[in-house]
Amino acid sequence: MPAGETIVALSTPPGESALALIRLSGPDCTCLGQAVGGRKSPLPFRQAVFSKYLSIKGKLIDEVVLTAFPAGRSFTGEAVLEIACHGNPLIIQNIVEDLLRRGCRPAEPGEFTRTAFLNGKMDLSQAEAVADLIHARSERSIEAAQRQMHGSVGRKMSELTDQLLSIMAQIEAYIDFPEEDLPSEEQSGPAADLRSLTREIQELIETQHYNALLHEGVKTLIVGEPNVGKSSLINALVGSERSIVSELPGTTRDYVSAFIMLGPWRIEILDTAGLHEAGDAIEQIGIHHTIEQSETADNFLLVLDSAAPSPTLPPALLERMRPDNTLVVENKTDLPGSRSMAEVLPDCPHVRLSLLQREGIAAMREAWLQVIETGISSPQMGGVMVNARHASALSEAVEHLNLASEKLRQAELSELVAADLREAVESIGKVVGKVDNERMLDSLFQQFCIGK
Ligand SMILES: Nc1nc2c(ncn2[C@@H]2O[C@H](COP(=O)(O)OP(=O)(O)OP(=O)(O)O)[C@@H](O)[C@H]2O)c(=O)[nH]1
Ligand SMILES: [Mg+2]
């Protein structure tokens, strides 16, 4: 934002509400606070002040609470004014229009947080965490966003950078004293340190998957032969008639999805078309979709009709099912011919239930939660998790580190090794935003809402 501009936006959702918060950031905030409140002196800082809001023409628009923050001690780092008014869309519109008449400019999406980042109030990973926190839909993802907002990723990056700088110092010592040979692979020293640092960064990159699970949800596919009760299961879990249930095999033709919470997890659950060899063309397309979906699924609920013979399932699907990602649901235990089906995926946990009689559903949810918690072992790394953007910067760092290791192994010039390590430091810096790249910042902050 050009220096000198003061931005304004409604920070709460539009529509009727008890209260609404209008936020301003920029150099005019201090005089605006005084002017709109019709005060003789500026507002005291960091104190909520009950006040009138007077328009530029002196008309009373609303009774509000004004809070002023001085530059340097605010969210954005600039002077900030917060106006809590009544949540009537007309009042909000009148206040915002009045502020525009007084010379403010409407804020772009994410501009408050972007200003905070540009003013060094937070690093880029913390700014991203603000957006994650706003969009978080499960307890686990709120916790993760809060950790990141408090700087967990930034701290990890400076730890990695420090380690890398110390390796660089060791190597540069050899540039200064070329007569001393670099230690060989087996010995401790820069080569070994470099290998262990590379491993550590790789482990961090793997946490990206866990991060995606938290924010996008654990994708769970309900699969099984036609008519076994897959749609009955999704309906029981969602608590409404999400998918059509009928006694006709082949009722579900394409997948149907819904979001539910299972303990602290957000789950995307998909009901799919029954899997069987013979079937009409539409069913075959549905089955093909199921196999495609299984490639990106995190979890499977394999539903069986426990009164029917063991199913034959497509090998492409079976090979994806493991004890740590699959729960076998033996349904229809109310039928006279029902029996244990332990022979189907014998290593996976099984539960027996009757969806018709609504028996065993709570136990099934428990068992499913177990599968999720064992399968998705949360990353160690002191709770630090990276997102896709961080992972790509870290992968770049790993490439540079691998090049450096290779050069060390081949006893190439220390200057060349050091150059690769410097590149790696740069890549790690991208995670916290030590980069001068307007486009990257634009695309990142555009994902924010206006007023944040
Ligand atoms: N006896 C009995 N019938 C059940 C049970 N669960 C579901 N059904 C019945 O089984 C039939 C098929 O149920 P759906 O949930 O539509 O099965 P589906 O697996 O989605 O079937 P497709 O979509 O055709 O693949 C319906 O008539 C259900 O009422 C159960 O626990 N016991
Ligand atoms: Mg169905």
Query: Edge-to-edge strands of the sheet including 326-331?
Result: 256-262, 265-271, 218-224, 299-305, 326-331, 350-352
Mutate to test the pocket of ligand 1, among 223, 240, 245 (most ligand atoms within 8 A of CB): 245
CB distance 260 to ligand 1 below 6 Å: no
CB distance 232 to ligand 1 below 6 Å: yes
In a domain, 75, yes or no: yes
Of the spans 85-94, 163-172, 201-210, 310-319, which averages the highest pLDDT? 85-94
What's the pLDDT band for 189 if we cut at 50, 70, 90? confident
Domain end call among 104, 122, 140: 122
In a domain, 228, yes or no: yes
Given this model, what pLDDT does residue 185 score? 44
CATH number at residue 21: 3.30.1360.120
**Which tokens go with 12?**
């709460």
Are 101 and 228 found together in one domain?
A: no
* Nearest ligand, measured from the Cα of 223: 1
Given this model, what pLDDT does residue 393 score? 94
Given this model, what pLDDT does residue 417 score? 87
Domain end call among 69, 93, 122: 122
Euclidean distance between CA atoms 217 and 314, whole angstroms: 26
Contact (Cβ atoms closer than 8 angstroms) between residue 421 and residue 198: no
> Ligand 1 centre from 216 Cα, in Å?
29
Of the spans 135-144, 273-282, 421-430, which averages the highest pLDDT? 421-430
Interval 204-224 mean pLDDT: 88
In a domain, 107, yes or no: yes
In a domain, 408, yes or no: no
In a domain, 154, yes or no: no
**Which tokens go with 367?**
């068992």
DSSP 3-state of 207: helix
Q: Is the pTM of this model over 0.75?
A: no
207's CB contacts (< 8 A; 6+ apart) are 379, 381, 384, 385, 386
> Ligand 2 centre from 318 Cα, in Å?
19
Are 219 and 347 found together in one domain?
A: yes
Q: What is the pLDDT of residues 92-101, one digit of tens each?
A: 999 999 999 9
CB distance 106 to ligand 1 below 6 Å: no
Interval 151-170 mean pLDDT: 89
CB distance 425 to ligand 1 below 6 Å: no
Residue with tokens 């426990």: 306
In a domain, 414, yes or no: no
CB distance 331 to ligand 1 below 6 Å: yes
Interval 60-64 mean pLDDT: 98
Average pLDDT, the chain: 88
Are 117 and 229 found together in one domain?
A: no
* Angle formed by the axes of helices 152-176 and 124-135, nearest 10°: 160
> Ligand 2 centre from 228 Cα, in Å?
8
> Structurally, how many domains does the chain consist of?
2
Percent of the chain with pLDDT over 90: 57
Are 228 and 356 found together in one domain?
A: yes
Lowest mean pLDDT among 5-19, 344-358, 411-425: 411-425
Q: What is the pLDDT of residues 215-258, one digit of tens each?
A: 888 999 999 999 999 999 999 999 878 787 888 877 777 778 89
What's the pLDDT band for 60 if we cut at 50, 70, 90? very high
Are 226 and 361 found together in one domain?
A: yes
The values of phi and psi at residue 450, to 5°, are -65, 140
Compare 410 and 283 and report the one with higher pLDDT: 410
In a domain, 129, yes or no: no
Positive or negative: CA dihedral 259, 262, 267, 270 = negative
Surrounding residues of ion ligand 2, Cβ less than 5 A? 230-231, 251-252
Domain limits at 308? 215-375
Interval 117-140 mean pLDDT: 88
Closest C-alpha residue for ligand 1 atom 27: 247
Given this model, what pLDDT does residue 54 score? 98
Percent of the chain with pLDDT over 70: 90
**Which tokens go with 278?**
């013979």
Helices and strands counted in the chain (H then E)? 14, 12
Domain end call among 67, 97, 122: 122
Given this model, what pLDDT does residue 329 score? 98
Are 356 and 224 found together in one domain?
A: yes
> Ligand 1 centre from 292 Cα, in Å?
24
Interval 149-162 mean pLDDT: 91
> Ligand 1 centre from 227 Cα, in Å?
5
Are 100 and 223 found together in one domain?
A: no
Listed as own residue / partner, the contacts of 401-408 with beta carbons closer than 8 Å and 24 or more positions apart are 401/194, 401/197, 401/198, 401/201, 402/198, 404/194, 405/191, 405/194, 405/195, 405/198, 408/171, 408/182, 408/190, 408/191, 408/194
The values of phi and psi at residue 202, to 5°, are -60, -40
CB distance 274 to ligand 1 below 6 Å: yes
Are 113 and 221 found together in one domain?
A: no
> In this model, does residue 186 exceed pLDDT 50?
no
Q: What is the number of the ligand 1 atom nearest to the C-alpha of 232? A: 15
Are 360 and 222 found together in one domain?
A: yes
Are 225 and 113 found together in one domain?
A: no
Given this model, what pLDDT does residue 377 score? 62
The values of phi and psi at residue 219, to 5°, are -80, 120
CB distance 306 to ligand 1 below 6 Å: no
Given this model, what pLDDT does residue 374 score? 83
DSSP 3-state of 5: coil
Interval 258-276 mean pLDDT: 88
Distance of CA 245 to the CA centre of its chain: 34
Given this model, what pLDDT does residue 116 score? 94
Euclidean distance between CA atoms 387 and 349, whole angstroms: 31
CB distance 236 to ligand 1 below 6 Å: no
The most distant pair of C-alpha atoms in the chain lies apart, rounded to whole Å, by 86
Euclidean distance between CA atoms 233 and 358, whole angstroms: 10
CATH number at residue 292: 3.40.50.300
> In this model, does residue 56 exceed pLDDT 90?
yes
What's the pLDDT band for 390 if we cut at 50, 70, 90? very high
In a domain, 44, yes or no: yes
CB distance 332 to ligand 1 below 6 Å: yes
Are 220 and 349 found together in one domain?
A: yes
Interval 31-45 mean pLDDT: 97
Mutate to test the pocket of ligand 1, among 221, 223, 251, 289 (most ligand atoms within 8 A of CB): 251
Closest C-alpha residue for ligand 1 atom 12: 227
CA distances, 428 to each of 2, 129, 152, 431 (Å) = 29, 18, 14, 6
